C-alpha cells in the first residue's frame, strides 16, 4: 500500500533513528537555525509523517499565512510521493490533510495560554491530537511557566510539541533562560555547510553527545543521511 510505503520511507525515520524513537507525549522539542535555512520544511515533514499514520496534527504559525503553510505541506508531500501513482497519491493527500489544523496567530505575551485553550477546544470535539507544531514564535520571550503549562497539557492530552527558533547559536541554553532550557527535551540545530545543511542533535533527554549523519538536502529539503 502506497500510504504504508510513504510511512516506512518517511524522512522522519532517519530522525527517529538518531534520537532513539523521537519525542514522546508531553515532550518539547526545538528546531533551531538562522532564518531561512529550512526549519519549516523539517517541521512539515514531522507533521506529514504523523498525518500519514492517521494521526491529527495542529500547526501553529506566526510568520506565515495559512495558505503559505498549506503550500509547504503540498510541496513536501509531492517530493515524498514522487514516482508514486499520481491518482493514489492525490487520494492519500486529500485523506490525510483532513487531520491537519493550521492556526495563524499574532505574537503576544499570552499566546501560549491561547494555544492551549484552542487545543482543549479541539480535544473536546473528539480530535485526538498527536503532534503540535509551533513555528515562528519568539521563543526567547516565552517564560518558563508557559513552557511548563504546554508540557503539562501535552502530557495530559497525549501529544508532543515541536517549536522553531531563529538563532545561529547551536547552544540553545545561551538563547533561552536556564529554567526555560531545562524544560526542553530535544534540540536539533540546522547549520549550513558546503553541499548540504547539517542537522546537529544538540540535546535529546539527558544525552548531549551525538554523532549522526543527518542532513537536510538543499534540493529536496528532505531529511536524509549523508
Give the model's pLDDT for residue 161.
98
Share of the chain above pLDDT 90, in %: 77
Which pLDDT band, with edges at 50, 70 and 90, does 162 fall under? very high
Question: Does residue 119 carry a pLDDT above 70?
Answer: yes
Task: Please give the Cα distance from 7 to 153 (Å, whole number).
Answer: 27
Mean pLDDT of 178-205: 93
Give the model's pLDDT for residue 51.
98
Give the helix/strand (H/E) hosting 134.
Answer: strand 129-135
Give the model's pLDDT for residue 41.
96
Task: Give the Å distances, CA to CA, from 184 to 29, 31, 45, 47, 141.
Answer: 6, 11, 20, 19, 15
Amino acid at each position: 500500500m502506497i500510504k504504508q510505503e510513504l510511512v516506512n520511507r518517511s524522512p522522519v525515520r532517519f530522525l527517529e533513528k538518531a534520537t532513539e524513537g523521537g519525542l514522546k507525549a508531553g515532550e518539547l522539542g526545538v528546531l533551531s537555525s538562522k532564518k531561512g535555512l529550512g526549519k519549516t520544511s523539517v517541521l512539515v515533514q514531522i507533521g506529514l509523517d504523523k498525518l500519514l499514520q492517521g494521526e491529527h496534527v495542529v500547526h501553529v504559525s506566526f510568520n506565515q499565512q495559512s495558505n503559505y503553510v498549506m503550500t509547504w505541506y503540498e510541496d513536501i508531500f509531492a517530493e515524498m510521493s514522487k514516482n508514486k501513482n499520481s491518482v493514489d497519491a492525490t487520494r492519500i493527500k486529500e485523506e490525510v490533510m483532513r487531520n491537519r489544523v493550521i492556526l495563524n496567530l499574532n505574537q503576544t505575551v499570552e499566546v501560549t495560554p491561547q494555544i492551549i485553550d484552542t487545543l482543549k477546544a479541539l480535544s473536546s470535539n473528539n480530535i485526538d491530537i498527536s503532534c503540535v507544531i509551533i513555528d515562528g514564535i519568539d521563543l526567547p520571550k516565552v517564560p518558563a511557566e508557559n513552557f511548563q503549562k504546554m508540557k503539562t497539557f501535552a502530557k495530559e492530552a497525549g501529544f508532543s510539541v515541536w517549536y522553531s527558533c531563529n538563532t545561529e547559536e547551536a547552544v540553545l541554553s545561551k538563547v533561552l533562560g536556564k529554567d526555560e532550557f531545562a524544560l526542553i527535551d530535544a534540540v536539533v540545530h540546522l547549520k549550513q555547510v558546503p553541499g548540504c545543511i547539517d542537522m546537529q542533535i544538540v540535546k535529546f533527554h539527558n544525552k548531549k553527545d551525538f554523532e549522526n549523519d543527518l542532513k537536510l538536502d538543499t534540493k529536496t529539503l528532505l531529511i536524509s543521511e549523508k
